[in-house]
């Protein structure tokens, strides 16, 4: 049985290595002719990213229950812009930490290489898990990948929209207090409601918050086009 598990792990690592090479090739050979603005979607594996993409695009996006291992960029033609679904980052079942770091590095490279065409960025976060993860990493004196990515998008001035998903795990009476904590962890002074352009509470599986996110995306697209036309 141990032999079978080892073979499975080696197979997973081999698949990820191949996917990373495909990802690198995609970045090198990406078509440069399409000048439409991009909206990149990022988040940990299993945070609700696929659910979000499905809700926005209407496409039949496969939604899994476990953190995935497929490294793939998918572009969706939204007419006035391209929605770019980037691979999930962070923990992936059966994948070594070194491989996870390589995936993160390639996501960062893609965003850096395309920053001039990105009108806004969507970072999807798990409302309850985020606080637990940050507190756990704080005890070790380290910064979790969620905050790394949030800071990264801010530093590149990519107009990030932080979608605080799975708010159904929080009692309704505790939403404001919890979102104030999330706001503070992300570096925004509470109360969270003064950051409505950036922070969006959501229950994506019920489409709660989707309309607000679409409105923010469209506003950024219009501003981006206006800036480029000057």
Q: Which positions of the chain have pLDDT values less than 50?
A: 1-4, 28-29, 69
- pTM, rounded to two decimals: 0.84
178, 189 contact by CB (below 8 A):
no
pLDDT of residue 7: 54
pLDDT of residue 194: 98
pLDDT of residue 5: 52
Helix axes of 145-155 and 127-139: crossing angle, nearest 10 degrees = 100
pLDDT (tens digit, 9 = 90+) per residue, 30-77?
555 678 999 999 999 889 999 999 999 998 766 655 555 456 889 999
140, 108 contact by CB (below 8 A):
no
> Taking the mean position of all CA atoms in its chain, how far away is CA 147?
12
Among 218, 220, 227, residue whose Cα is nearest residue 78: 218
CA gap 225, 125 in Å, rounded: 28
Domain with 80 in it: 2-229
pLDDT of residue 69: 46
SS (H, E, C) the chain: CHHHHHHHHHHHHHHHHHHHHHHHHHHHHCCCCCCCCEEEEEEECCCCHHHHHHHHHCCCCCCCCCCCCCCCCEEEECCCCEEEECCCECCCCCCCHHHHHHHHHHHHHHHHHCHHHEEEEEEEEEHHHHHHHHHHHHHCCCCCHHHHHHHHHHHCCCCEEEEEECHHHCCHHHHHHHHHHHHHHCCCCCCHHHHCCCEEECEHHHCECHHHHHHHHHHHHHHHHHHHHC
Q: How many domains does the chain have?
A: 1
CA gap 59, 83 in Å, rounded: 12
pLDDT of residue 62: 62
- CATH code, domain carrying 137: 3.40.50.300
- Looking from the CA of 121 toward its CB, the CA atoms found within 13 Å total 27
């Amino acid at each position: 049985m141990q032999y079978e598990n080892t073979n499975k792990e080696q197979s997973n690592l081999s698949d990820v290595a191949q996917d990373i090479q495909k990802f690198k090739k995609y970045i090198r050979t990406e078509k440069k002719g399409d000048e439409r603005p991009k909206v990149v979607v990022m988040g940990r594996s299993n945070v609700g990213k696929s659910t979000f993409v499905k809700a926005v695009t209407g496409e039949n996006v496969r939604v899994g229950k476990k953190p995935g291992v497929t490294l793939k960029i998918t572009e969706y033609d939204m007419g006035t812009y391209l929605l770019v679904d980037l691979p999930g980052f962070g923990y992936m079942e059966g994948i070594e930490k070194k491989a996870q770091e390589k995936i993160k590095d390639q996501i960062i490279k893609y965003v850096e290489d395309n920053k001039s065409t990105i009108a806004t960025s969507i970072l999807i976060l798990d409302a309850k898990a985020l606080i637990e993860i940050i507190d756990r990493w704080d005890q070790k004196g380290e910064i979790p990948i969620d905050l790394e990515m949030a800071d990264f998008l801010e530093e590149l001035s990519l107009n990030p929209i932080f979608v605080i998903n799975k708010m159904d795990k929080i009692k309704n009476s505790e939403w404001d207090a919890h979102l104030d904590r999330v706001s503070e962890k992300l570096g925004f002074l509470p109360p969270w409601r003064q950051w409505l352009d950036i922070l969006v509470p959501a229950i994506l599986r019920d489409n709660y918050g989707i309309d607000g996110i679409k409105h923010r995306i469209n506003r950024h697209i219009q501003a981006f086009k206006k800036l480029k036309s000057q």
